[in-house]
Structures are given as structure tokens and as C-alpha cells.
Structure 1
Amino acid sequence: MPQALRHLLDRDQPDKAAATLPRRSFLKLAGIGGLALGVFPLLATAQTTGAGQANSALRPTQQPSAFVQIAPNGEVTVTINRLEFGQGVQTGLPMILAEELDADWSLMRSRNGSSDAAYQDPRFGMHITGGSNSIKNSFTQYRELGARARAMLLSAAAARWNVDVASLRTQAGSVIGPGGRKLGYGELAEAAMALPVPENVTLKDPKDFRIIGRPTTRIDARAKSSGRQDFGIDVRRPGQLTAVVARPPVFGAKLSAVDDSAARVVKGVKAVLRVPLERGGEGVAVVADGYWPAKQGRDALKLQWDTAAVEKVDSERQLVQYQELAGQPGPRHFDADMALLATSPRQLEAEFVFPYLAHAPMEPLNCTVQFSEESAELWTGTQFPGVDNVAAARVLGLKPEQVQVNVQMAGGGFGRRGVSSSDFVVLACEVAKATRAAGLNAPVRTLWSREDDIKGGYYRPMHLHRARIGFDERGQVLAWDHVIVGQSIVTGTVFGGRVKNGIDPTAAEGMRDPYPLPMRLTMHHPKLNVPVLWWRSVGSTHTAFVMESLLDEIAR
């Protein structure tokens, strides 16, 4: 969601290194099944940083030991606190840290983070990738991490040479001392990381940058262009099994009959298991020693579904319903005077309909789960590893601190891998739990096919826009009466507190901006049995097209 969380989270936030959510928002989060413990673990847990490194004034997000690993050969590996799924943070964040570290860029590497508290967004206090905030919110953080690590390396060199640290300088991965003496970072790393972490560091003047702002080869370019890059779908654990899930034709439907006899005789199929799905629905997981036998097993299932108790959304009826709602009074987002509308010399009426849209990332959803009675590990490409950590713990009957989510490279997402319900992670945990209960003690990778992703996921909502505009001979807008009908994408999520007076402001994003128009904007948010989500941004996916098209028509 390149724009979504910038608008959901960033609005009205002060520009500082760390911020806290308002008390009302925090309490709302705390009430969602213990979600606050995963979203804000910094409030409940402290990080042990190793002998000599603990600094009570520094948070986990400020400790170099969690982000910087220097090998004896001088290679510097930087842990990124975001999901890399094409936007380039696997290179951008190491560039920022390398600048202040004075590292040799040719020796820079990167790796993915986890649900550990250190890898939260330092500004919002939660694990999140979204809203185009990765570089913005972690720019100062990663500069300071690099500067702290550099200061520790300088101190280690000063101690080894028994000289004043002020007599030393750094350049391209080395500490240089009086008389031209030189030590590579790899030679100093072990001693440096055992030193106390400096709380305050001096950052470079931007005019002295030699990495930031310069053309730089992406760290992941060679692996991706040669086909060697691993993604979440490529995770392989010893003894791993693969599962696919048969879902109902209507969201929330239950099984009335299951004939799995043909599925069980497919070579490679290990188990056929009923599993709970979102919104009270049920599904059937086919667990096998690979994707193809699991899919063949699923294709062989004969299932009967009970859809009597769930709403069956029909596109034609839904459009009629939306058109009827557009003619009814509703909550007002803007409320300008419409007195001149009927008497305007020129008038324009228009209606726009936007369909449901799937995210359809190139890499379908997937999650691998390995767990025991004492702990669990998950491997998945996720935008919300902290939220997923808590959800997984709840399903597996563990405490959040007993679960680790290992973030994997993802092949796209566009918001689909950042879901408050953690739907694809919860499903993988339900499948793994059922598999273990069936006597198969093995890691389980739950895969979604492309068809699963299109038919059984979350969607950009269907929207209807209706506009009546009055303007004069010069194109001056005198009155603009506008209605938007569509499901709310934040209701029921961790951002649900943004809905005020029945209005989800994300659906109105971009309306009237940046134009000072006399607009009355009415909003309707019907509830339907179709799960919806942010999609490549928030309201602008529909409002921008409407606004610019109508202004073009007026100009014409």
C-alpha cells in the first residue's frame, strides 16, 4: 500500500524520531484480543543487548547490535526493519547506515528482520511496512545506528593502539590512525561491539555524503535478475509439508458434507483436514509432500457447502443498492452551501462505478509454520510481523514471546500482506495445528494458488460516485454536490478509530484537494459479506480519477 499508511498513520503526527498513539487509539488496540502486546511490545518488554552493551537510555530500535553485524573479512550486514517487496528498502536502509558508518559499499550486505521489538517503526511503535514511510521514518534511526557503530569501532581502535580517539578517522571500512596505521572494521568488530553504546552521536553534514544521494546498485539486483533470489514461497525446512485449502464459494459458509476418499489416495497426500476460516467459515486443507500432490488432492475433494446463513453478494443487486443509497441523506464530510446549484448557468451530472479489485501480487500468499508446545517459528513475507506474531500465538496456544515471525522477501503485496486480521498467517497456523493433531509433527507451508488469491482474499471496495455540479460560463464552480458509496476499509482494523460520525475519511481522500471547491460531500458505508482492504493506496485509487475527470469535463 504505497500511500495507505501514510494517510492512516502519518496525518497530524509530529516530525520526531518516536511518537506514541493517542490514549484512545491505544486502548482500542488493547481491546482487540491482546493485540496491543504485539503491536507495542516496547511498552511491555526490554531487550537484552549483551554484556557491556545495555544502555537504559536507548530503546531496542536504537541498539547497533540488532542491526549491524561485521564479519572478520569486513563484510557489513545490515538488518532491515521493513518488508522488502520491490520498493528498494533492502538497499536504501543499508545506504543510510553505511553513510554514517563510513563503510565500504562493495562490502555491504542486508538481511530481513523479524517480529523482534528492535524492528518496529521507531516513530509509530509498531512493526509496519506501508504508507511510503520506511525511509522517512527510519532515516535518522539508521544514520544514528551507523554513527553509533562507527564510534564504537573508533573506541576499539583507540584502545588497541593506546591513542586518543580524537586522533583517529574512518574511511571506506577502516579506521586510520597516526602515522598511517590502519585497521579494517572486521579486525575491530568483536571488541567494538562489546563496548558501551554511545547515546549521543554527531551526524554528518549532508554536504559530506558520499553514498546517500548517489546512484547505487541495488543489493538484490543480481539475485533477482538471475533468478537466484529466494522469497517466502521458497522456504524449505527439513521434513516440510505443503498444504492448500479448499474454500467455500461464499465467504463465511460452512461444510455440510465432505467426501475425501479420492483425495486421500493421491500419491504424496498425507492428510485431509477440516480447518476454521475467517468470518466463521470452514475449509478443507490437503497436506502433502509438495504443492502438486496437495493441489491434485484438493481437486479430488467432493464438498457440499451450507450457504444458507451467509449473505450472498450479487453485483447487479449491489449496484442498485448503491444507487439507492446515493439518493438518501447521509453523514457529511464537507457541507458547502448548495443554493446556487439549481440556478447555475451550466450543469453537469455524472456517475462513476469502480469494481472490486484484487491485489494479485506476483508471489501468491504463503506462510510456513514450525511449532512445538514451547515455541513456534513462522516464515512469511509480511508487512505487519508484530500483529501476525500475536495472532499466531493466539491460534497456537502460545505466548507472543514464544513466537518468532521471520520476515521473508516478498514478490509484491500492495497492502495484501498487511492485514489486521492476519488472515493468511492465522490460516497457516490453523493448518499447522491440525496437521500436528493428526500425528504429523512437521513444518507446514500453506500456499495460496493464484485462483485462491483472486477468489478468497481481500479487495479494494466497490465504490459508486455521483456528482451534480453547477458552474458558470468561465468554468467557475458555483456548487458541487457529491456522494460516495462504498465499504469502509478501516472499520474493524487497528485503524478503526479513524471512523468518526459514520465517515471513513480514507474513502474521501483526494476529494476537493487541492482545489478550493464549494463541495458538499455525503458518505455511505454499507456493510456486505465481502472482505475489503487498502489497495495500492487508499481513497485516491478512485477519488483521483473522479476529481480529475470531472474537472476536465468542466474545462472542456
Structure 2
Amino acid sequence: MTINTTRRGFLKSAAAAGAVLLVGARPDGALAAASSETAQFNPFVKIDADGTVTAIVKHFEKGQGPATGLPTLIAEEIGLRMDQIEYEFAPSDPQVYNNLLFGPFQGTGGSTAMANSWMQYRQAGAAAREMLINAAAQSWGVAASDVTIEEGIVNAGDKSAPIADFVAAASQLEAPVEPRLKDPADFRLIGNEAVRRKDSAIKGNGQAMYAMDVHLPNQMIAMIKRPESRGGIATGFDDSASKEVKGYINATVLPNQAGVAVYAENTWAAIQARDALEVEWDMSGAETRDSDQIKAEIMDALEAEATYNVNKADVAAVSAAIEGADQVVEKTFYFPLLAHAPMEPLNCTIEQTAEGNIVLHDGSQMPTGPHMAYQQIFQLPPEKIQINTMLAGGSFGRRATPDADYQVEAALAFVVTDRSRPVKLVWTREDDIRSGYYRPAFGHKARVGLNAEGEIVGWQHQVAGQSIMKGTPFEAVVVHGGVDHSSVEGIADSPYEIPGMALGLTDTPKATSVLWWRSVGHTHTAYTMETMMDLAAQAAGRDPVEFRLAHLSDASDPDQQRKAAVLKLATEKAGWGTAPEGRSQGIAVHKSFGSYVAEVVEISGDPESGIKIEKVTCAVDCGIAVNPDVVKAQMEGGIGYGIGHVMRDQITLTSGAVDQYNFPDYEPLRIGDIAAIDVHIVPSAEAPTGVGEPGTPPSAPALANAITAMSGLHMAELPMAENGVSFV
């Protein structure tokens, strides 16, 4: 396959044809080695005859760092510098490269990349090290215990040689079943703040190869004309005007009638031809509701008895405790639909080889999904389908739809052709914002009762919104007893010790198509929990930090203690309570994806003339911070993502059609919106947990609490800019 890279140079593959040592896992999970790439298993570590070490990365890179983190684990265990290890993305093979937390499914998401790969990649690296050491010991006639590898050099007394000298011999040895892992005290790369990302240079110099950069010889560009409202189907079209566009090829209704595929020689011609196309739509099954109707349905559900008693509480007893309390704090919240809006619009390229294989070039977040779909669409066995995973310019969950939406679109646009020309499917940003998938709309109603001493005696919490997981292949895993846990995560499993908690959930009809969004349910549950904790503290006349710590006081509960520790560190580093005159501070702390994050937002100005976010101080406990530089970057990105959306973003519908279209009316965070972010990592010996998403949940409530502390204004409906707050 030839790729035209006139605009960018393709990242050179580190895999040489003469690879002679591969170490990884067989389908049964046992470590194994082989002497050629024709082995029956797919490895995690590959060492070429010249000593080049390559990490086979099973999690795709969308900016969150696995192309650095996973090679770090292998380099640490073998004994390499970071410049001595390369990486390449794994092929689609869930038997070997499955996400251990997803079951028999290969995919990246839920901030699981490091959490599920931590031991797997360390063991693979350690196995390679021991095989090289044993080969050197045999060659030199010394004890294996006397051999070490440091910075890619094998040493034993006065003998030394590069690892390349022992690759061939090592390939003939049995892989150890239980290789010895490095003592954390001996780590040189893991936890080293000086280790920088492996992909920074190529992204800076233009060599990075994103899916959008794939240009196959003789390819066609395909764009889809979609209905204004989700659910409409195409019944016919008139392309008379499209034929006047230079570069237009033809158009056809997709086999599923979800739209009309327009083919052209280049992207601009495809856009113009699609705009000129006249399509006949059957809208009888389309979404017709306005945003106000959707909101009303959710609010009505909050006032009715919940469908599911999530924590099996005695609701009547909790309600009675609140009614008899000395003070009651009550608020109703509404969270609108939100778009993902990654910087690289959706795209992928599909071709058929001379052997009849189907090849998909894609920034594929969950390759098992399109792989399975393509078996059905093309009626081919799995080995005849290849997915070439590229870098992705962001995702925030959008590239991981349960129905592999855009990859299936590409397949349908390709399967109706004669397959002689590759087809590159391109979405514009307007396509994704107007016809994509969204963070679901949710409502919360929380009532908190306090006694005369300012202690919580009851907390009644109703949640209503659109289930993400129901009706998807993930329903069996995430939905139990009718409860979609992603709707209530962050409340149902909160580490806070809250007496008399009753949690109810009601599902409401989905608006257009909903999908997980960076931090999933925590995007709205953290906001409700943390702003309510502030309001309860205020009613009790107590400092909000001290009030939270009082509900994290169980010394025998590691969950509470880790959450309390990040809270203390963030407030210490932010100078809690000592903000300069004219500034206010807000605090929020939340656990998500196994990690604990506390954030203090410091602001100046006022809601009417404009608020300026002066500083965000963050403390994170994510277990062992494999790459502290990456951890800090992910906290910064998550903070910006959360605050940027809560400030001014929402997706609204008119008669089922999305009103917003691009960044002018769905405005992302701007570089000047936050003056400074300061991140502090809690030292830990715990296994690594997620960092891609946990920075997002506390950011919005910390900002909201700062605004309340400044002005008394409580933001129960979002976005803030639509509800009484302006920003400078």
C-alpha cells in the first residue's frame, strides 16, 4: 500500500523485516517468544536484529499519552533510555490486545489504558530482559545473576555488548512464565518528571500521521448528506446541480437510507456537490422535540417517584429525616446536551487489496467494533479485515460509538462502489456538531437536611436523564437491575460518608443520539454533589473544606483518606482562605476512574461585568504517576475542557434539528480563559489509575463555588453564560 504524504512525512515504522525476537502474550495469556513475525501470537515487545526495541501499543493515541506511557513500562523493565524504544500501534486482534477491563474487546476509553496495561507491559518488558540476559550469560559463560542491562548495554563484570548481539540467541529461549519485575526503588523512567512524550517531536515538525493525512492513490472523497433531524431517511435525490461541480463523481443513497453518499475527486468538490444535492426525506421517524420539551420531560421526571431506587434506601425514612431537620438545603439542576467537538473532524479511509482484504485506515478508538461490523457488511472472515490505527486529533469519547457509526458509514459508502478506488469519508465540523452524538441532558434534584450542629441527617437525590448504555452492546456489563450506572456514578459510589442517603433514577427518552463524553456521568454528578456540599457547608456556617473533611474522616477507609489527602494538598498549594483582595476561591473534590482530584479555582471580577479565572490549583492522586509530565498535561486539559464547556456551551434543538453548527456558536475554551493552572501529584505506591478524564469533573463545580462565594449567585442551570454570568 502506498500512501501519498506530500503534506506530511509518515512516522517511520520501527519494525524491520528481520525482527527475530517478539515477546508478548498468547491468547491464553501466557508469555511467549518467537523467532519471526509469523508467530501464532501477537507481541507487546519486538526487538529487531539491529537491537531496535519497539513497543506494540494496544491503546490508540488521541493525545492522552499511551504512546509514551506503555513504552515507558517496557523500557524501564528492559533497561533502556526512552530514546532507545520506538512504538507502533497494535493490529485489530481482541484475542491478544483486548482491554482487560472491557472483556473480549479491544478498545481505549474510560481512562483505562495505564490501569489495565500496567502489569501486562511490565511483564512483557521483564520477560524480554530475562531472555536477553540468559542469552548473554550462556554466551559469556557467566551466571545470569551477574548480568545486567543498562541503557541498552548488556554488562557482566568486564564484559559488555549491545543487546543486538544477543537477540538471535534470545529468540531460541523459552519466555519466563513469571519474570522478575523491577523493584520500584530502582525505577529510572517510571515517575521521572524529565521523561517527555514520544510523539511531541513529530507533532511539532509535521511528521505525525493522523487519519486525516491518509491519501491513497486514486482515492475518492465521500461526504454524507444527512437529514436535519436524527432519524430521517433518504428516499431519493436530484444531483442535477451537483453535476455542475468540477470534480463531482456521483451520489447514491446509502444501503441503510441514513443519508446520501456524495463522491468527488477532492474534499472541496465533495462539500460543494453535497451542498448542491437535493434530497427527498422521509421524516416520519425523526426526532421532532425542541430543547424546552426535553428539559420539561426531565424536570417532570424529577418531581415524580423515581423508577429505580439505586441504593435500596428507605426513601420514606430519609424523607422524614429531612423534613424533621433544622435546616433543609434544596436545589434542582439542569445539564444540557453537549458536543464532543474534537479538533480533528471525523474521517477514515477504506480500501480493498488485490487479495480481497478490506483495510481501514482510522484513528480507531475501539477497533473491535468496526472489525465486527465489517465482517457482516463485507461477508468476510475476521482475518480478511485489517485496521491500520492512526493518531487521532482528539476524541473525548466521540470516536468510540457502540455502533461504530462513521466507520460503518465509510463501509456502506465503499461497498456500493466497484471497490476499484479507495474511499475516504470526511465529516466537516458542522457535520459532527449538527449530526453527531452528544453528552446526554440530565436533571438532578437534591435535598439535604442538617441538624442544629450543622451535620447532615439526610440526603435525598433524584436523577433523571438519558441512558447512554441501554440499547448498546455495553448494556449487559454496565446496566444492573435496570440502573445504568453511568447515570449515577459519582453519587452512588461517592467516598463521602453521608448518613441517610437515598438515590433515585429515572430514564427519559433520548434526544437525538447520546454518548459518553469526557468523564461520562461524572460531568453532571460531580457538579451536583460538590455544589451541594458547598451550600450545605454555608447553611451550617462551616468552612467548605472543613465540612468536606468531616465527611472523609474514617481513618480505616482508604477511599476517604485518599480523597481527603488531595483536598488538603490542593487547598495548601492554593493558599485556601488567603486569596488577594478582590478575589474569591471555590473548591471541589471528586473521585472518578479510580483517581482522586481536588481543584481550587480563584477568580476576580463579578458576574455582571465579567469574571476572570485567575488560577486553578489541582491536586491528583492517580496511584503511581508513570509519566508525571503526561499526568500534569492531562489534568490541565481536563480542567480546560470542563470549565470551557460549563462557561458557555450547550446543544439545543428546534423541531429536532441542532441549532449550533461550528465554533462561532459552540465556542471551545480559549487560551486566555484561564490565566494559570498549577498541578500537584500526590506521591503514591498504588497501581496507576486514570488521568485522561478525572481532571474534568471537579473543574466546573469549583468554578461555580467560587462564583457563589463571590456573589451569592448559585449556578443550578448551565451553561453559565446563559444564566447570569459573563466572562472576560
TM-score (norm 2): 0.65
Q: Which moved more, 1:163-172 or 1:504-513?
A: 163-172
Residue of structure 2 in register with 1:289 after alignment: 265
What is the CA–CA distance in structure 2 between the aligned matches of 1:202 and 1:462, rounded to whole Å? 49
What residue is the counterpart of 1:333 in the other structure?
310
Task: Tell me if structure 1 keeps the 8 A contact 2:297–2:508.
Answer: no
Helix, strand or coil for the counterpart of 2:321?
coil
Q: Which moved more, 1:471-480 or 1:128-137?
A: 471-480
Structure 2 CA distance for aligned equivalents of residues 155 and 200 of structure 1: 15
Count of residue pairs the alignment pairs up: 500
Q: 2:518 aligns with which of 536, 541, 546?
A: 536
Alignment-derived partner of residue 526 in structure 1 = 508
For the pair 1:418 / 2:388, whether they are aligned, the reply is no
Is contact 2:131-2:170 (8 Å) kept?
yes
How far, CA to CA, are the matches of 2:51 and 2:466 in structure 1? 53
Paired residue secondary structure (1:87): coil
Match in the other structure for 2:331? 350
Tell me the distance in 2 between the aligned counterparts of 1:64 and 1:425.
34
Q: What CA distance in whole angstroms lies between the structure 2 residues aligned with 1:202 and 1:276? A: 54
Indicate the SS of the match to 2:486.
Answer: helix
Residue in structure 2 matched with residue 15 of structure 1 by the alignment: none
> Which of 427, 438, 452 is 1:459 aligned to?
438
Q: Structure 1: which amino acid aligns with 2:292?
A: E
Q: Please name the residue that 2:300 is paired with.
A: 324
In the alignment, is residue 505 of structure 1 matched against residue 485 of structure 2? Answer: yes
Q: Percentage identity across aligned positions?
A: 37
2:87 aligned with 1:110: yes
Tell whether 2:359 aligns with 1:390. Answer: no
Q: Could you report, residue by residue, the CA deviation over 1:97-128 in whole angstroms, capped at 9, with x for unpaired residues?
A: 01111123322211111212332224544212
- 2:698 is matched with none
Instruction: Tell me the alpha carbon deviations over residues 248-305 of structure 1, each in whole angstroms, 9 at most, x when there is no partner.
Output: 112121124311122233222222121145xxx5211112222111111111111232
The equivalent residue for 1:376 is 358
Which of 96, 99, 109 in structure 2 is aligned with 1:121? 99
Number of the residue aligned with 1:273: 252
Alpha-carbon distance in 1 for matches of 2:454, 2:85: 57
Post-superposition CA distance 1:428-486 (Å, at most 9, x none): 111111233xxx51221111110111111111110111233333343323333322110
How far the C-alpha of 1:194 sits from its partner, in A, is: 4.2
Secondary structure of residue in 1 paired with 2:392: coil
From 187, 190, 193, the counterpart of 1:209 = 187
Change (3 A) 1:342 1:106: closer
The letter for the 2-side match of 1:366 is: N
Task: Find the counterpart in structure 1 of residue 62 from structure 2.
Answer: 85
Which structure exhibits the higher relative contact order, with contacts defined as CA atoms closer than 8 Å and separated by 6 or more residues? 1
Separation (CA, whole Å) in 1 of partners of 2:384 and 2:426: 24
Amino acid at match of 1:357: L
User: For the Cα contact (< 8 Å) 1:53–1:197, is it kept in 2?
Assistant: no
Contact 2:479-2:485 at 8 Å conserved across structures: yes
The aligned counterpart of 1:364 is: 345
How far 1:161 sits from its partner (Å)?
4.4
Amino acid at match of 1:206: P
Structure 1 position 316, deviation (Å): 1.2
Of 197, 206, 218, which residue of structure 1 is paired with 2:175? 197
Partners of 1:463 and 1:305 in 2: CA distance:
31
Deviation at 1:343, TM superposition (A): 3.5
Change (3 A) 1:190 1:285: farther
Give the 3-state SS of the residue equivalent to 1:305 in structure 2: strand
- Cα distance, 1:349 vs structure 2: 2.9
Q: Shift of residue 529 of structure 1?
A: 4.8
Instruction: Report the alpha carbon displacement of residue 339 of structure 1 after superposing the two structures with TM.
Output: 1.2
* Cα displacement string for residues 476-518 of structure 1 (whole angstroms, at most 9, x for unaligned residues): 2333332211011111223202323332122111226233142
1:495 aligns with 2:474: yes
1:183 paired with 2:164, answer no
Amino acid at match of 2:410: A
Contact 1:61 1:118 in 2 (8 A): no
What's the secondary structure of 2:512's corresponding residue? coil
Unaligned runs of 5+ in 2: 1-18, 35-42, 539-728
Deviation at 1:312, TM superposition (A): 1.4
Asked if structure 1 preserves the Cα contact closer than 8 Å seen for 2:27 and 2:96, the reply is no
Q: CA deviation at 1:233?
A: 1.3
Q: Pick from 44, 49, 52: which aligns with 1:75?
A: 52
SS of 1:67 mapped into structure 2: strand
In structure 2, the residue matched to 1:99 is: 76
Compare 473-482 and 353-362 and name the one that shifted more: 473-482
Does the 8 Å contact 1:82/1:89 carry over to 2? yes
Residue identity in the other structure for 2:345? P
Shift of residue 237, structure 1, vs aligned partner: 2.2
For the 8 Å contact 2:30–2:177, the answer to whether it is kept is no
- In structure 1, stretches of 5+ residues that fail to align are 1-49
Q: Which residue identity does 2:223 align to in structure 1? A: V
User: Would you say 1:300 and 2:270 are equivalent positions?
Assistant: no
Instruction: Look up the match of 1:28.
Output: none
Aligned equivalent of 1:9: none
- Deviation at residue 535 of structure 1 after TM alignment: 0.7
What is the Cα deviation at residue 164 of structure 1? 5.0
Using the TM superposition, name which of 198-207 and 371-380 deviates more: 371-380
Residue in structure 1 matching 2:448, options 431, 451, 469: 469
Report the residue type matching 1:251 in the other structure: R
Offset, 1:55: 10
Distance in structure 2 (CA, Å) of the matches to 1:426 and 1:291: 20
Taking a change above 3 Å as real, the CA distance of residues 272 and 99 of structure 1, as seen in their structure-2 partners, is: same
Structure 2 letter corresponding to 1:537: S
Change (3 A) 1:269 1:64: farther
How far 1:393 sits from its partner (Å)?
1.6
Q: List aligned pairs for 1:397-408, cutoff 5 A.
A: 397-408=379-390
Structure 2 CA distance for aligned equivalents of residues 477 and 287 of structure 1:
62
Work out which of the residue numbers 219, 225, 230 in structure 1 matches 2:204: 225
Give the stretch that moved more between structures: 343-352 or 108-117. 343-352
Query: Structure 1: which amino acid aligns with 2:308?
Result: P
Task: Report if the CA contact (8 A) 1:271-1:435 is conserved.
Answer: no
Query: Partner residue of 1:6?
Result: none
Say whether 1:234 aligns with 2:213.
yes
Q: Residues 358-381 of structure 1: CA distance to partner in whole angstroms, max 9, x if unpaired?
A: 111111111111125832111111
> How far apart in 2 are the matches of 1:259 and 1:246?
12
Aligned partner of 1:172 in structure 2 is: 151
1:145 aligns with 2:127: no
Pairwise CA RMSD:
2.5
| Counterpart-to-counterpart distance in 2, 1:307 and 1:259 | 18
The SS at the match of 1:340 is helix
SS state at 1:478 partner: strand
Cα shift at 1:192: 2.7
What's the offset of the Cα at 1:58?
7.2
The aligned amino acid for 1:426 is V
Given that residues 51 and 194 in structure 1 are in contact (C-alpha distance below 8 angstroms), is that contact kept between their aligned partners in structure 2?
no
- Alpha-carbon distance change, 144 to 467 in structure 1, aligned in 2, over 3 angstroms: closer
The verdict on how the C-alpha distance between 1:253 and 1:62 changes in structure 2, with shifts beyond 3 A counting, is farther
Pick aligned residue for 1:155 from 120, 134, 159: 134
Cα distance in 1 for partners of 2:20, 2:344 equals 41
